[in-house]
Amino acid sequence: MLSQLFKLLPLLGQLRRPPVRRVVLKQLYFTGNQAAWIMLLIGVALGGIVLLMLHGQYGQSREASMRLLATLSFRDISPLLAALVLIARSSSAVASELAAMRVHGELDSLAAVGIPVSSYIVLPRIIGIGLSSALLSIYLASASLVGAALVSSGWEIGYQVRRIDQVLQFGLVLQCLGKSLLFGLAAAALACWTGLRVAPYVTEIPKASSSAVVRSLLAVFFIDLVWVLLS
């Protein structure tokens, strides 16, 4: 899979073509924008739950709970949770879309007019989903802080917002972005790979969809494990 990602590096020059950039923007819209409200809601709920548990069950002070939540959410929970939502929504969709294109001969049609599948189909989806994953993860993590601040301070949330620099460090934001970008790239590459490798039968389309989800989940959890072991 990593070798597949590296093979795409020389293709980055294809982004100079307007249709390729359009597919990237479409993917950002479908994956990054349409899922934003889901992430915000999940984030607010997550922040509230974690803060209540830390404060109510483990006896942490509210400030300590906020600091712990920021660390947990930006470093560990949000990238993973965002990846899970992204896999459920987009990996399956991309795999079934590409499988359907393959079954109906549309990839051959594109190749016949000189449009390579790698640069027009695969590259924009991987870039779009990778960037969306990073964005969604940041939405989720930020929303979790808002949710925790709401639970912690109620209508005096402004007090917590002013103290945000004391609970959130720049390094955590970078970790969140880097990890979720990696998760997104891996999930997208696997979804494309699964969708493009199906046998040309209609019955293979749902199989591709579920295979992409399972493979992406495995990849994301193992990447997370390796990340934790290395950091």
Partner 1 sequence: MSDDWDFSACQAGVCYGLESELRTHEGRHAVAGLQRFATGAVACLQGGGGLVSNLRVWENLILPAWYHESAAMADLEVRIAAVLDVLAVAEEERASLMASLPASLSRSQCRVLALVRALVQAPAWLVVEVEWLEWLQGAANIHCKEAFGLLRQDRPMLLLGAGAMLHAEPLPTIVDTKESDALAER
- Residue closer to partner 1 (CB basis): 14 or 153: 14
Cβ at position 126, least distance to partner 1 in Å:
17
- Residue closer to partner 1 (CB basis): 19 or 171: 19
**Can you tell me which of 17, 89, 163, 207 binds partner 1, judged by CB under 8 A?**
17
Distance CA 229, CA 231 (A): 6
DSSP state of 90: I
15: its two tokens: 């982004």
- Residue closer to partner 1 (CB basis): 16 or 162: 16
Number of chain positions touching partner 1 (CB under 8 A): 20
- In the chain, the amino acid numbered 127 is I
By CB under 8 A, tell whether 204 contacts partner 1.
no
Distance CA 30, CA 50 (A): 29
C-beta of residue 8 within 8 angstroms of C-beta of residue 118: yes
Distance CA 20, CA 75 (A): 32
By CB under 8 A, tell whether 15 contacts partner 1.
no
By CB under 8 A, tell whether 106 contacts partner 1.
yes
Tell the residue number behind the tokens 């949770």, with chain if given: 81
Tell the residue number behind the tokens 């969140």, with chain if given: 176
Distance CA 162, CA 144 (A): 16
Q: Which stretch binds partner 1 (CB under 8 A): 63-71, 96-104, 141-149, 165-173?
A: 96-104
By CB under 8 A, tell whether 93 contacts partner 1.
no
Binding site for partner 1 (CB under 8 A): 16-20, 97, 100-101, 104-106, 108-115, 120
